[in-house]
Chain A
């Protein structure tokens, strides 16, 4: 592999995988919470939260990236706070790329999980309650296992979106080789220089391979879980 890809290209692939995985795992707890809130909660401002979550799906990615830059940049409101108190810098770092990818993938993850929570039979939860399980236990041992396929689907969607995210990332953290240059940015760079066609093609093939593998894995896992929880 190392002989086939140049070190720069290899770095871009590795960085993309790290960024996408981080984005997926980091947004999972929050995604689960928001999905639960939207599926089950009854509170004032629910449609507002719903709209807010879906915003990155509708806005041009560049706009989302620019908003992130304003908010999380070194001089941004949140960015400055993070730097002053925790020494965390997001702008022009790979962590910033992960944040941008997480924000862009979030609506897809929430949507998939929310649908699967809504599909869980509330009567099963009632039954668990009469058997002595407190609401927290009901969630942990009945609701959560039953919506596992949806959670998995949400994670895969988020990962795939993160692998392909370009606009928000490049706007927020730029295109620094070895730090923020993910696969799409690297491909873009290749297309901008003469003689970059071969490199762009290699990375394109890798990108396709990763996406197809992710899809295949999720299908496989969904089927395994599906077989275990064959709904009556």
Chain B
């Protein structure tokens, strides 16, 4: 089977050169990078808003652009949903008309009855149908924009920083909907963001965009824990992504026990339910390493593993070193001082114990 996404684009925009190659198998591919790194330009190439000087765009095996073959499908024939940073709803139409706008243009041959009810339920916007965009809040507008793109029956959904213009509360309101989109629909998503928390929570594949190029691309857990990437300026802070399942509770202390591929973890119970699956993130700077199984410490979580990779010394004066451990069959990133690395004599293959405080485990 062909890759979900296969893109190569070369395009000059003033002084900026976009020269990106990318293939992804992920359900949600995040393009991560600083502002001005070319994320939006790349998405515009996929969506058909930019015609690249050279390159190709293939989505699930279908060629949309191939400059060598002289193929350039105009944007209205690509069937790629695009959710912009600003919702861009049509101000002269009601929410209902906005939602059904794209559905009307789906070619007869492939058109299915509008799944309006399903989309309304998925996004929680059923009560807004008769309103006009001017009367919606920022979060509501963005959800309508997502619904509008979905109802056009896209083969791919592009989301260009859909949450950037919203405050924290609105972001928290929309994130679960995007997760449902990723898990419940069959539509692959390309998600642009410069917010690490969003990317860590949503992405299955991450592509790091730097100065118009793809610096790295791979599964989210791998990319975020890579020592060589963490050392680059402007890179996301290294962290470990784990999936956990709630297997038990410590009622007396309000804790939950999780099973992860890295080993057992104990975290605050909060509102977790038995059997619930959740995504966990641990920042590399919150991980402490010990050569012996530690005793008499407050941290509840100790994962045994071995050192897989040790990065270059970075930071001012080369004081910092990023490491990657393999615990069980999961990757765990750690960030230590160069002095500690030398004092412990850390080297690839060495058995270590990663100490993680319960409060350092972020759940999403």
Contact = CB atoms under 8 A, between A and B. Distances in A.
The answer to whether A and B assemble together is yes
B76 A124 contact: no
Contacts of A134: 76, 105
B92 A229 contact: yes
A123 B105 contact: no
B249 interface: no
A41 interface: no
Tell me the dominant secondary structure on chain A's binding face.
helix
Nearest to A228: B92
A123 B88 CA distance: 7
Contacts, number: 75
A127 interface: yes
A137 B141 CA distance: 23
A129 B132 contact: no
Contacts of B106: 132
B227 interface: no
Given A145-B92, A231-B91, A130 B134 contact: no
A131 B102 contact: yes
Contact of A232 (B74, B79, B89): B89
B48 A130 contact: yes
Interface string B72-99: 0011111111101010111110000000
B86 A129 contact: no
Interface in B142-167: 148-149, 152
Contacts of A89: none
A133 B105 contact: yes
A128 B102 CA distance: 8
B47 interface: yes
Interface string A125-169: 011111111110110011001100000000000000000000000
Interface residues of A, number: 24
Nearest to B101: A131
B49 interface: yes
Contacts of A232: 89, 91, 133-134, 141
Contact of A130 (B47, B91, B132): B47
Contacts of A59: none
Given A132-B106, A230-B132, A231-B134, A123 B84 contact: yes
A138 B88 CA distance: 14
B211 to A, nearest CB: 25
Interface in A182-232: 228-232
Interface in B332-359: none
B161 to A, nearest CB: 14
Interface string A21-37: 00000000000000000
A50 B356 CA distance: 72
17 contacts: A124-B90, A126-B75, A127-B88, A128-B90, A129-B48, A129-B74, A131-B76, A131-B101, A131-B102, A131-B148, A132-B79, A132-B105, A133-B101, A133-B105, A137-B76, A138-B76, A230-B134
Interface of B: 47-49, 74-82, 84, 86, 88-92, 101-102, 104-106, 132-134, 141, 148-149, 152
Given A127-B84, A131-B81, 10 more contacts: A127-B82, A130-B49, A130-B75, A130-B149, A132-B76, A133-B101, A134-B105, A137-B76, A145-B92, A146-B92
